Amino acid sequence: MADLTQKFDVLVIGGGNAALCAAIAARRAGASVLVLEGAPKFYRGGNTRHTRNMRCAHDSATEILTGPYTEEEFWDDLLRLTGGQTDEELAKFMIRESKDILNWIVEQGVRWQPSLGGTLSLGRTNSFFLGGGRAMLNALYLTAEKLGVEIAYDAEVVDLQIEDGMFLSATLKQPVGGASEIRASALVAAAGGFEANIEWLKEYWGEAADNFLIRGTPYNRGSILKMLLDKGVQDIGDPTQCHAVAIDARAPKFDGGIITRHDSVVFGIVVNKHAQRFYDEGEDIWPKRYAIWGRLVAAQPDQIAYIIFDSSVVTSFMPTLFPPIGAPTIAELAVKLELDPAALEKTLGDFNAAVQPGTFDHTILDDCRTEGITPAKTHWARKIEHAPYLAYPVRPGITFTYLGTRVNKQSRMVMKDGKPSANMFAAGEIMAGNVLGKGYAAGIGMTIGSVFGRVAGREAARNAKN
Protein backbone atom coordinates (compact mmCIF):
# COMPACT_ATOMS: atom_id res chain seq x y z
CA MET A 1 0.00 0.00 0.00
CA ALA A 2 1.33 3.40 -0.99
CA ASP A 3 2.35 5.93 1.63
CA LEU A 4 -0.38 8.47 0.99
CA THR A 5 1.20 11.12 3.22
CA GLN A 6 4.02 11.76 0.74
CA LYS A 7 3.64 14.40 -1.95
CA PHE A 8 3.44 12.78 -5.39
CA ASP A 9 4.59 14.36 -8.62
CA VAL A 10 1.42 13.37 -10.43
CA LEU A 11 -1.98 12.40 -9.06
CA VAL A 12 -4.25 10.59 -11.53
CA ILE A 13 -7.94 10.38 -10.66
CA GLY A 14 -9.73 7.50 -12.39
CA GLY A 15 -8.87 3.93 -13.25
CA GLY A 16 -9.83 3.45 -16.92
CA ASN A 17 -7.90 3.69 -20.16
CA ALA A 18 -7.26 7.44 -19.99
CA ALA A 19 -6.02 7.22 -16.40
CA LEU A 20 -3.71 4.28 -17.05
CA CYS A 21 -2.25 5.79 -20.23
CA ALA A 22 -1.58 8.99 -18.28
CA ALA A 23 -0.09 7.16 -15.31
CA ILE A 24 2.22 5.04 -17.48
CA ALA A 25 3.35 8.02 -19.56
CA ALA A 26 4.00 10.12 -16.46
CA ARG A 27 5.94 7.32 -14.78
CA ARG A 28 7.97 6.67 -17.92
CA ALA A 29 8.82 10.38 -17.89
CA GLY A 30 10.30 9.93 -14.43
CA ALA A 31 7.48 11.12 -12.18
CA SER A 32 6.19 9.50 -9.01
CA VAL A 33 2.56 8.66 -9.72
CA LEU A 34 -0.49 7.80 -7.63
CA VAL A 35 -3.69 6.49 -9.26
CA LEU A 36 -6.89 6.83 -7.24
CA GLU A 37 -9.62 4.53 -8.61
CA GLY A 38 -13.01 5.08 -7.00
CA ALA A 39 -14.22 1.56 -7.76
CA PRO A 40 -13.26 -1.60 -5.87
CA LYS A 41 -10.48 -3.62 -7.54
CA PHE A 42 -12.85 -6.11 -9.19
CA TYR A 43 -14.73 -3.28 -10.91
CA ARG A 44 -11.63 -1.24 -11.76
CA GLY A 45 -11.50 0.37 -15.14
CA GLY A 46 -14.83 2.15 -15.57
CA ASN A 47 -16.36 1.98 -19.01
CA THR A 48 -13.09 0.82 -20.49
CA ARG A 49 -13.89 -2.70 -19.20
CA HIS A 50 -16.66 -2.93 -21.80
CA THR A 51 -14.74 -1.81 -24.85
CA ARG A 52 -13.66 -3.91 -27.79
CA ASN A 53 -11.74 -1.68 -30.17
CA MET A 54 -10.01 1.58 -30.93
CA ARG A 55 -9.98 3.75 -34.08
CA CYS A 56 -6.53 4.89 -35.18
CA ALA A 57 -5.25 6.36 -38.44
CA HIS A 58 -2.79 4.16 -40.38
CA ASP A 59 -1.29 4.43 -43.85
CA SER A 60 -1.33 0.78 -44.82
CA ALA A 61 -2.87 -2.55 -43.87
CA THR A 62 -1.44 -4.21 -40.78
CA GLU A 63 -1.49 -7.78 -39.54
CA ILE A 64 -5.01 -7.21 -38.27
CA LEU A 65 -6.31 -4.17 -40.18
CA THR A 66 -7.50 -4.89 -43.71
CA GLY A 67 -6.41 -1.62 -45.34
CA PRO A 68 -5.26 1.97 -44.85
CA TYR A 69 -7.27 4.56 -42.94
CA THR A 70 -5.57 7.86 -43.59
CA GLU A 71 -5.56 10.94 -41.38
CA GLU A 72 -7.62 12.69 -44.05
CA GLU A 73 -10.29 9.98 -44.08
CA PHE A 74 -10.46 9.91 -40.27
CA TRP A 75 -10.86 13.71 -40.26
CA ASP A 76 -13.57 13.57 -42.95
CA ASP A 77 -15.47 10.96 -40.90
CA LEU A 78 -15.18 13.01 -37.72
CA LEU A 79 -16.24 16.21 -39.45
CA ARG A 80 -19.32 14.53 -40.92
CA LEU A 81 -20.34 12.67 -37.77
CA THR A 82 -20.03 15.72 -35.54
CA GLY A 83 -21.62 18.03 -38.10
CA GLY A 84 -18.53 20.23 -37.68
CA GLN A 85 -18.97 20.49 -33.91
CA THR A 86 -15.40 19.66 -33.03
CA ASP A 87 -12.27 21.64 -32.16
CA GLU A 88 -10.45 21.26 -35.47
CA GLU A 89 -6.97 21.82 -34.08
CA LEU A 90 -7.40 19.35 -31.24
CA ALA A 91 -9.20 16.80 -33.40
CA LYS A 92 -6.49 16.86 -36.08
CA PHE A 93 -3.84 16.64 -33.38
CA MET A 94 -5.60 13.59 -31.93
CA ILE A 95 -5.87 11.92 -35.32
CA ARG A 96 -2.16 12.50 -36.05
CA GLU A 97 -1.16 11.15 -32.64
CA SER A 98 -3.46 8.13 -33.03
CA LYS A 99 -1.08 6.74 -35.67
CA ASP A 100 1.63 6.40 -33.06
CA ILE A 101 -0.76 5.14 -30.39
CA LEU A 102 -1.30 1.93 -32.38
CA ASN A 103 2.29 0.96 -31.57
CA TRP A 104 2.62 2.70 -28.22
CA ILE A 105 -0.30 0.80 -26.72
CA VAL A 106 1.32 -2.49 -27.82
CA GLU A 107 4.52 -1.39 -26.06
CA GLN A 108 2.42 -1.13 -22.89
CA GLY A 109 1.47 -4.82 -23.18
CA VAL A 110 -1.84 -4.62 -25.05
CA ARG A 111 -2.38 -7.14 -27.88
CA TRP A 112 -4.58 -6.89 -30.96
CA GLN A 113 -6.81 -9.47 -32.60
CA PRO A 114 -8.54 -9.52 -36.00
CA SER A 115 -11.78 -7.58 -36.23
CA LEU A 116 -14.91 -9.22 -34.89
CA GLY A 117 -17.66 -9.71 -37.47
CA GLY A 118 -21.24 -8.56 -37.08
CA THR A 119 -22.96 -5.50 -38.40
CA LEU A 120 -20.47 -2.75 -37.66
CA SER A 121 -17.89 -3.62 -40.38
CA LEU A 122 -14.84 -2.10 -38.68
CA GLY A 123 -12.12 -4.40 -40.04
CA ARG A 124 -10.24 -1.63 -41.87
CA THR A 125 -10.56 1.22 -39.38
CA ASN A 126 -10.59 -0.25 -35.87
CA SER A 127 -8.12 -2.44 -34.00
CA PHE A 128 -9.71 -4.94 -31.62
CA PHE A 129 -8.18 -5.71 -28.22
CA LEU A 130 -7.26 -9.34 -27.78
CA GLY A 131 -9.59 -10.52 -25.03
CA GLY A 132 -11.58 -7.26 -25.00
CA GLY A 133 -11.38 -4.15 -22.84
CA ARG A 134 -10.83 -5.98 -19.60
CA ALA A 135 -7.80 -7.83 -20.93
CA MET A 136 -6.53 -4.54 -22.33
CA LEU A 137 -6.90 -2.93 -18.92
CA ASN A 138 -5.23 -5.81 -17.14
CA ALA A 139 -2.22 -5.34 -19.41
CA LEU A 140 -2.08 -1.60 -18.66
CA TYR A 141 -2.42 -2.17 -14.89
CA LEU A 142 0.33 -4.78 -14.98
CA THR A 143 2.67 -2.43 -16.84
CA ALA A 144 1.84 0.45 -14.50
CA GLU A 145 2.52 -1.70 -11.45
CA LYS A 146 5.81 -2.97 -12.87
CA LEU A 147 6.90 0.61 -13.53
CA GLY A 148 6.17 1.54 -9.93
CA VAL A 149 2.91 3.46 -10.28
CA GLU A 150 1.08 3.42 -6.94
CA ILE A 151 -2.58 2.41 -7.23
CA ALA A 152 -5.33 2.66 -4.62
CA TYR A 153 -8.78 1.10 -5.11
CA ASP A 154 -12.05 1.96 -3.39
CA ALA A 155 -10.42 5.38 -3.44
CA GLU A 156 -13.08 7.95 -4.21
CA VAL A 157 -11.97 11.57 -4.48
CA VAL A 158 -14.65 13.66 -2.81
CA ASP A 159 -13.11 17.12 -2.98
CA LEU A 160 -10.40 19.07 -4.78
CA GLN A 161 -8.48 22.02 -3.40
CA ILE A 162 -7.83 24.41 -6.25
CA GLU A 163 -6.66 28.01 -6.02
CA ASP A 164 -6.46 30.36 -9.01
CA GLY A 165 -6.35 27.48 -11.46
CA MET A 166 -3.74 25.60 -9.47
CA PHE A 167 -4.34 22.15 -7.99
CA LEU A 168 -3.15 21.82 -4.39
CA SER A 169 -4.61 18.59 -3.01
CA ALA A 170 -7.45 16.10 -3.23
CA THR A 171 -9.62 14.73 -0.45
CA LEU A 172 -9.74 10.96 -0.61
CA LYS A 173 -12.46 8.91 1.06
CA GLN A 174 -11.93 5.21 1.59
CA PRO A 175 -14.23 2.66 3.25
CA VAL A 176 -11.36 1.77 5.61
CA GLY A 177 -9.21 4.60 6.88
CA GLY A 178 -11.69 7.44 6.29
CA ALA A 179 -10.73 10.71 4.65
CA SER A 180 -7.21 11.88 3.87
CA GLU A 181 -5.60 14.74 2.00
CA ILE A 182 -3.51 13.75 -1.04
CA ARG A 183 -0.92 16.23 -2.25
CA ALA A 184 0.65 16.27 -5.71
CA SER A 185 2.48 18.72 -7.94
CA ALA A 186 0.20 18.04 -10.90
CA LEU A 187 -3.25 16.55 -11.44
CA VAL A 188 -4.60 14.40 -14.27
CA ALA A 189 -8.39 14.13 -14.11
CA ALA A 190 -9.51 10.99 -15.96
CA ALA A 191 -12.68 10.23 -14.02
CA GLY A 192 -15.17 9.80 -16.87
CA GLY A 193 -18.42 11.58 -17.67
CA PHE A 194 -21.61 11.94 -15.60
CA GLU A 195 -23.65 9.25 -17.34
CA ALA A 196 -24.26 7.24 -14.16
CA ASN A 197 -25.65 10.27 -12.30
CA ILE A 198 -29.40 10.05 -13.04
CA GLU A 199 -30.15 13.19 -11.03
CA TRP A 200 -27.70 15.19 -13.13
CA LEU A 201 -29.11 13.69 -16.36
CA LYS A 202 -32.58 14.73 -15.20
CA GLU A 203 -31.49 18.37 -15.20
CA TYR A 204 -31.46 18.18 -18.99
CA TRP A 205 -33.77 15.25 -19.82
CA GLY A 206 -36.40 15.64 -17.10
CA GLU A 207 -38.20 12.59 -15.71
CA ALA A 208 -37.40 10.65 -18.91
CA ALA A 209 -33.92 10.02 -17.50
CA ASP A 210 -35.47 7.66 -14.95
CA ASN A 211 -36.08 5.28 -17.85
CA PHE A 212 -32.53 5.42 -19.18
CA LEU A 213 -30.28 2.42 -18.74
CA ILE A 214 -26.57 3.08 -18.23
CA ARG A 215 -24.45 0.73 -20.29
CA GLY A 216 -21.32 1.11 -18.24
CA THR A 217 -19.95 1.64 -14.75
CA PRO A 218 -22.11 3.05 -11.94
CA TYR A 219 -18.97 4.86 -10.67
CA ASN A 220 -18.92 7.54 -13.39
CA ARG A 221 -21.10 10.02 -11.54
CA GLY A 222 -19.32 13.10 -12.82
CA SER A 223 -18.28 14.25 -9.36
CA ILE A 224 -14.77 15.26 -10.46
CA LEU A 225 -16.14 17.02 -13.54
CA LYS A 226 -18.57 18.98 -11.38
CA MET A 227 -15.86 19.98 -8.88
CA LEU A 228 -13.58 21.18 -11.68
CA LEU A 229 -16.33 23.21 -13.36
CA ASP A 230 -17.40 24.68 -10.02
CA LYS A 231 -13.79 25.64 -9.26
CA GLY A 232 -13.14 27.68 -12.37
CA VAL A 233 -12.41 25.26 -15.22
CA GLN A 234 -14.06 26.17 -18.51
CA ASP A 235 -16.72 23.76 -19.70
CA ILE A 236 -17.05 22.44 -23.23
CA GLY A 237 -19.88 20.63 -24.96
CA ASP A 238 -23.64 20.46 -24.82
CA PRO A 239 -24.83 18.70 -21.63
CA THR A 240 -27.61 16.92 -23.53
CA GLN A 241 -25.17 15.39 -26.00
CA CYS A 242 -24.09 11.85 -25.31
CA HIS A 243 -23.52 8.52 -26.97
CA ALA A 244 -26.74 6.55 -26.61
CA VAL A 245 -27.84 3.37 -28.35
CA ALA A 246 -30.92 1.17 -28.19
CA ILE A 247 -30.34 -1.61 -25.68
CA ASP A 248 -32.55 -4.38 -24.40
CA ALA A 249 -35.14 -3.04 -21.97
CA ARG A 250 -34.50 -6.09 -19.77
CA ALA A 251 -30.84 -5.09 -19.23
CA PRO A 252 -29.69 -4.14 -15.72
CA LYS A 253 -29.71 -0.46 -14.76
CA PHE A 254 -25.89 -0.30 -14.93
CA ASP A 255 -23.04 -2.23 -16.53
CA GLY A 256 -25.09 -4.30 -19.02
CA GLY A 257 -22.21 -3.82 -21.46
CA ILE A 258 -22.00 -4.67 -25.13
CA ILE A 259 -24.11 -7.84 -25.03
CA THR A 260 -27.31 -5.87 -24.45
CA ARG A 261 -27.00 -3.72 -27.59
CA HIS A 262 -29.39 -4.51 -30.43
CA ASP A 263 -28.16 -4.43 -34.02
CA SER A 264 -31.35 -5.83 -35.58
CA VAL A 265 -33.12 -2.55 -36.43
CA VAL A 266 -32.37 -2.66 -40.17
CA PHE A 267 -33.88 -6.15 -40.42
CA GLY A 268 -37.33 -5.15 -39.15
CA ILE A 269 -39.38 -2.20 -38.03
CA VAL A 270 -39.39 -0.26 -34.76
CA VAL A 271 -42.62 0.79 -33.04
CA ASN A 272 -43.37 2.78 -29.90
CA LYS A 273 -45.78 1.87 -27.09
CA HIS A 274 -48.69 2.95 -29.33
CA ALA A 275 -47.49 0.40 -31.92
CA GLN A 276 -46.59 3.27 -34.29
CA ARG A 277 -43.39 3.47 -36.34
CA PHE A 278 -41.49 6.72 -35.77
CA TYR A 279 -38.28 6.71 -37.84
CA ASP A 280 -36.78 5.33 -41.04
CA GLU A 281 -35.15 2.05 -39.92
CA GLY A 282 -33.19 1.89 -43.19
CA GLU A 283 -31.88 5.42 -43.39
CA ASP A 284 -28.20 4.55 -43.71
CA ILE A 285 -25.88 1.62 -43.11
CA TRP A 286 -25.93 0.49 -39.49
CA PRO A 287 -22.40 1.61 -38.43
CA LYS A 288 -23.48 5.15 -39.29
CA ARG A 289 -26.86 4.96 -37.59
CA TYR A 290 -26.66 2.68 -34.52
CA ALA A 291 -25.72 5.58 -32.27
CA ILE A 292 -28.85 7.65 -33.05
CA TRP A 293 -31.34 5.08 -31.80
CA GLY A 294 -30.80 5.76 -28.11
CA ARG A 295 -31.91 9.36 -28.56
CA LEU A 296 -34.77 8.34 -30.85
CA VAL A 297 -36.14 5.94 -28.23
CA ALA A 298 -35.57 8.57 -25.51
CA ALA A 299 -37.97 10.84 -27.40
CA GLN A 300 -40.79 8.22 -27.43
CA PRO A 301 -43.52 7.98 -24.78
CA ASP A 302 -42.21 6.21 -21.66
CA GLN A 303 -38.84 5.85 -23.45
CA ILE A 304 -39.68 2.37 -24.71
CA ALA A 305 -39.77 0.89 -28.21
CA TYR A 306 -39.95 -2.54 -29.83
CA ILE A 307 -37.92 -3.92 -32.72
CA ILE A 308 -40.30 -6.22 -34.63
CA PHE A 309 -39.01 -8.81 -37.09
CA ASP A 310 -39.73 -12.35 -38.22
CA SER A 311 -38.13 -15.77 -38.17
CA SER A 312 -36.53 -15.31 -41.62
CA VAL A 313 -33.86 -12.88 -40.30
CA VAL A 314 -32.94 -14.27 -36.88
CA THR A 315 -29.48 -15.38 -38.01
CA SER A 316 -28.69 -12.11 -39.81
CA PHE A 317 -27.41 -10.18 -36.80
CA MET A 318 -25.37 -10.76 -33.63
CA PRO A 319 -27.49 -12.41 -30.97
CA THR A 320 -27.71 -10.53 -27.66
CA LEU A 321 -27.92 -11.62 -24.05
CA PHE A 322 -31.72 -11.71 -24.03
CA PRO A 323 -33.71 -13.92 -26.42
CA PRO A 324 -36.39 -12.29 -28.56
CA ILE A 325 -40.00 -12.47 -27.42
CA GLY A 326 -41.90 -14.61 -29.94
CA ALA A 327 -45.47 -15.51 -30.88
CA PRO A 328 -47.20 -17.33 -33.77
CA THR A 329 -49.27 -14.28 -34.76
CA ILE A 330 -48.82 -10.52 -34.65
CA ALA A 331 -51.82 -10.14 -32.36
CA GLU A 332 -50.38 -12.62 -29.85
CA LEU A 333 -46.99 -10.89 -30.03
CA ALA A 334 -48.70 -7.58 -29.29
CA VAL A 335 -50.36 -9.08 -26.20
CA LYS A 336 -46.99 -10.33 -24.94
CA LEU A 337 -45.50 -6.86 -25.46
CA GLU A 338 -48.55 -5.21 -23.88
CA LEU A 339 -49.27 -3.32 -27.12
CA ASP A 340 -52.69 -2.83 -28.72
CA PRO A 341 -53.05 -5.91 -31.03
CA ALA A 342 -55.21 -4.09 -33.60
CA ALA A 343 -52.77 -1.18 -33.75
CA LEU A 344 -49.75 -3.45 -34.25
CA GLU A 345 -51.57 -5.50 -36.91
CA LYS A 346 -52.43 -2.30 -38.78
CA THR A 347 -48.88 -0.91 -38.57
CA LEU A 348 -47.45 -4.18 -39.84
CA GLY A 349 -50.12 -4.55 -42.53
CA ASP A 350 -49.50 -1.02 -43.80
CA PHE A 351 -45.76 -1.61 -43.77
CA ASN A 352 -45.98 -4.93 -45.65
CA ALA A 353 -48.31 -3.39 -48.23
CA ALA A 354 -45.84 -0.55 -48.82
CA VAL A 355 -42.78 -2.78 -49.43
CA GLN A 356 -41.52 -2.57 -53.03
CA PRO A 357 -39.72 -5.37 -54.87
CA GLY A 358 -35.92 -5.17 -54.65
CA THR A 359 -32.65 -7.06 -54.13
CA PHE A 360 -31.74 -7.24 -50.45
CA ASP A 361 -28.15 -6.50 -49.41
CA HIS A 362 -27.58 -5.06 -45.95
CA THR A 363 -23.95 -4.12 -46.74
CA ILE A 364 -24.99 -1.47 -49.28
CA LEU A 365 -27.80 1.06 -49.58
CA ASP A 366 -29.97 -1.44 -51.46
CA ASP A 367 -33.17 -0.82 -53.41
CA CYS A 368 -35.55 -2.55 -50.95
CA ARG A 369 -37.78 0.31 -49.88
CA THR A 370 -41.33 1.26 -49.04
CA GLU A 371 -43.64 3.56 -50.93
CA GLY A 372 -46.63 5.48 -49.62
CA ILE A 373 -46.07 5.29 -45.85
CA THR A 374 -44.64 7.73 -43.34
CA PRO A 375 -42.01 7.35 -42.13
CA ALA A 376 -40.62 5.49 -45.13
CA LYS A 377 -38.14 2.67 -44.73
CA THR A 378 -35.72 3.68 -47.46
CA HIS A 379 -33.50 0.57 -47.63
CA TRP A 380 -33.66 -3.08 -46.56
CA ALA A 381 -37.46 -3.06 -46.43
CA ARG A 382 -38.81 -6.59 -46.68
CA LYS A 383 -42.21 -7.92 -45.68
CA ILE A 384 -42.47 -9.22 -42.14
CA GLU A 385 -44.56 -12.30 -42.76
CA HIS A 386 -42.78 -15.47 -41.60
CA ALA A 387 -44.12 -16.72 -38.28
CA PRO A 388 -43.11 -16.92 -35.52
CA TYR A 389 -43.03 -13.14 -35.14
CA LEU A 390 -40.33 -11.78 -32.86
CA ALA A 391 -39.57 -8.64 -30.88
CA TYR A 392 -36.96 -7.01 -28.68
CA PRO A 393 -38.10 -4.32 -26.23
CA VAL A 394 -35.53 -1.50 -26.20
CA ARG A 395 -34.70 1.51 -24.05
CA PRO A 396 -32.11 4.29 -24.36
CA GLY A 397 -28.74 2.91 -23.29
CA ILE A 398 -26.45 5.78 -22.30
CA THR A 399 -22.80 5.07 -23.06
CA PHE A 400 -21.15 8.33 -22.06
CA THR A 401 -21.82 12.06 -21.84
CA TYR A 402 -19.97 14.78 -23.76
CA LEU A 403 -20.02 17.75 -21.39
CA GLY A 404 -16.46 18.20 -20.22
CA THR A 405 -13.50 20.32 -19.28
CA ARG A 406 -11.92 22.43 -22.00
CA VAL A 407 -8.31 21.48 -22.70
CA ASN A 408 -5.53 22.62 -25.02
CA LYS A 409 -3.13 20.47 -27.06
CA GLN A 410 -1.12 19.68 -23.94
CA SER A 411 -4.30 18.23 -22.44
CA ARG A 412 -4.02 21.08 -19.96
CA MET A 413 -7.30 22.35 -18.59
CA VAL A 414 -8.31 25.85 -19.63
CA MET A 415 -9.83 28.09 -16.97
CA LYS A 416 -12.96 30.22 -17.38
CA ASP A 417 -10.79 33.31 -17.99
CA GLY A 418 -9.17 31.54 -20.95
CA LYS A 419 -5.83 31.00 -19.22
CA PRO A 420 -4.35 27.49 -19.07
CA SER A 421 -4.32 25.91 -15.60
CA ALA A 422 -0.95 25.92 -13.84
CA ASN A 423 -0.91 22.16 -13.20
CA MET A 424 -4.22 20.47 -14.09
CA PHE A 425 -4.68 18.13 -17.04
CA ALA A 426 -7.62 16.06 -18.25
CA ALA A 427 -8.03 13.00 -20.46
CA GLY A 428 -10.74 10.66 -21.70
CA GLU A 429 -14.49 10.97 -21.35
CA ILE A 430 -14.10 13.93 -19.01
CA MET A 431 -12.82 16.04 -21.94
CA ALA A 432 -14.38 14.14 -24.87
CA GLY A 433 -16.58 17.14 -25.71
CA ASN A 434 -13.53 18.97 -27.08
CA VAL A 435 -13.50 16.53 -29.98
CA LEU A 436 -17.08 15.26 -29.96
CA GLY A 437 -19.57 18.12 -30.04
CA LYS A 438 -22.13 15.56 -31.08
CA GLY A 439 -22.28 12.25 -32.96
CA TYR A 440 -19.86 9.36 -32.69
CA ALA A 441 -17.56 7.12 -34.72
CA ALA A 442 -17.11 3.63 -33.26
CA GLY A 443 -13.82 3.31 -31.39
CA ILE A 444 -13.14 7.01 -30.91
CA GLY A 445 -13.74 6.96 -27.14
CA MET A 446 -10.61 4.89 -26.67
CA THR A 447 -8.67 7.06 -29.11
CA ILE A 448 -9.53 10.15 -27.06
CA GLY A 449 -8.50 8.40 -23.83
CA SER A 450 -5.25 6.96 -25.14
CA VAL A 451 -4.02 10.00 -27.06
CA PHE A 452 -4.90 12.64 -24.48
CA GLY A 453 -4.06 10.28 -21.61
CA ARG A 454 -0.52 9.85 -22.89
CA VAL A 455 -0.13 13.58 -23.54
CA ALA A 456 -1.61 14.51 -20.15
CA GLY A 457 0.72 12.09 -18.33
CA ARG A 458 3.82 13.38 -20.11
CA GLU A 459 2.91 17.01 -19.65
CA ALA A 460 1.92 16.54 -16.01
CA ALA A 461 5.28 14.86 -15.34
CA ARG A 462 7.15 17.68 -17.09
CA ASN A 463 5.10 20.23 -15.16
CA ALA A 464 5.86 18.52 -11.84
CA LYS A 465 9.58 18.31 -12.54
CA ASN A 466 9.91 22.01 -13.43
Ligand X SMILES: Cc1cc2nc3c(=O)[nH]c(=O)nc-3n(C[C@H](O)[C@H](O)[C@H](O)COP(=O)(O)OP(=O)(O)OC[C@H]3O[C@@H](n4cnc5c(N)ncnc54)[C@H](O)[C@@H]3O)c2cc1C
From the CB of 68, what's the least distance to ligand X, in Å?
A: 20
- Name the segment binding ligand X (CB under 6 A); options: 51-59, 301-309, 327-335, 378-386: 51-59
Q: Which of 23, 29, 54, 149 binds ligand X (CB under 6 A)?
A: 54
Give the residue with the Cβ less far from ligand X, 48 or 434: 48
Please tell me whether residue 400 binds ligand X under the rule CB under 6 A. yes
Q: Which of 4, 12, 15, 333 binds ligand X (CB under 6 A)?
A: 15
Give the residue with the Cβ less far from ligand X, 100 or 361: 100
Q: Which of 268, 443, 454, 459 binds ligand X (CB under 6 A)?
A: 443
Kindly give, in sequence order, each residue whose CB lies less than 8 Å from that of residue 370, ignoring residues fewer than 6 positions away.
Answer: 351, 354, 355, 356, 376, 377, 378, 381
Please tell me whether residue 264 binds ligand X under the rule CB under 6 A. no
Identify any residues that bridge with 390 across adjacent strands, giving them in sequence order.
309, 326
Please tell me whether residue 95 binds ligand X under the rule CB under 6 A. no
Q: State the number of CA atoms in the 13 A half-sphere of 453 facing the CB.
A: 33
Query: Contacts with ligand X in 146-165 (CB under 6 A)?
Result: 156-157
Please tell me whether residue 219 binds ligand X under the rule CB under 6 A. yes
- Name the segment binding ligand X (CB under 6 A); options: 49-57, 266-274, 310-318, 409-417: 49-57
Q: Which of 28, 99, 215, 295 binds ligand X (CB under 6 A)?
A: 215
Q: Which of 24, 32, 45, 405 binds ligand X (CB under 6 A)?
A: 45
Give the other-Cβ count within 10 Å of 177's Cβ.
Answer: 13
Please tell me whether residue 457 binds ligand X under the rule CB under 6 A. no
From the CB of 182, what's the least distance to ligand X, in Å?
A: 11
Give the residue with the Cβ less far from ligand X, 81 or 330: 81
Q: Which of 27, 50, 382, 406 binds ligand X (CB under 6 A)?
A: 50
Give the residue with the Cβ less far from ligand X, 141 or 351: 141
Please tell me whether residue 190 binds ligand X under the rule CB under 6 A. yes
Give the residue with the Cβ less far from ligand X, 35 or 390: 35
φ, ψ of residue 382 in degrees (nearest 5): -130, 150
Q: Which of 32, 47, 264, 401 binds ligand X (CB under 6 A)?
A: 47
Reduced 3-state DSSP string for the chain: CCCCCCCEEEEEECCCHHHHHHHHHHHHCCCCEEEECCCCHHHCCHHHHHCCEEECCECCCCCCCCCCECHHHHHHHHHHHHCCCCCHHHHHHHHHHHHHHHHHHHHCCCCEECCCCCCCCCCCCEEEECCHHHHHHHHHHHHHHHHCCEEECCCEEEEEEEECCEEEEEEEEECCCEEEEEEEEEEEECCCCCCCCHHHHHHHHHHHHHHCEECCCCCCCCHHHHHHHHCCECEECCCCCEEEEEEECCCCCCCCCHHHECCCHHHCEEEECCCCECCCCCCCCHHHHHHHHHHHHHCCHHHCEEEEEEHHHCCCCCCCCCCCEEECCHHHHHHHHCCCHHHHHHHHHHHHHHECCCCCCCCCCCCCCECCCCCCCCCCCCCCCCCCEEEEEEEEEEEEECCEECECCCCEEEECCCCEEEEEEECHHHHHHHCCCCCCCCCHHHHHHHHHHHHHHHHHHHHHHC
- Name the segment binding ligand X (CB under 6 A); options: 80-88, 219-227, 306-314, 409-417: 219-227
Give the residue with the Cβ less far from ligand X, 272 or 447: 447
From the CB of 141, what's the least distance to ligand X, in Å?
A: 11
Give the residue with the Cβ less far from ligand X, 162 or 269: 162
Please tell me whether residue 268 binds ligand X under the rule CB under 6 A. no
From the CB of 405, what's the least distance to ligand X, in Å?
A: 12
Please tell me whether residue 213 binds ligand X under the rule CB under 6 A. no
Q: Which amino acid is at 294?
A: G
Interface with ligand X: number of residues (CB under 6 A): 43
Give the residue with the Cβ less far from ligand X, 157 or 333: 157
From the CB of 178, what's the least distance to ligand X, in Å?
A: 15
Please tell me whether residue 294 binds ligand X under the rule CB under 6 A. no
**Residues in contact with ligand X by the rule CB under 6 A:** 13-19, 36-39, 45-48, 50-54, 156-157, 190-192, 215-217, 219-220, 223-224, 257-258, 399-400, 428-429, 443-446, 449
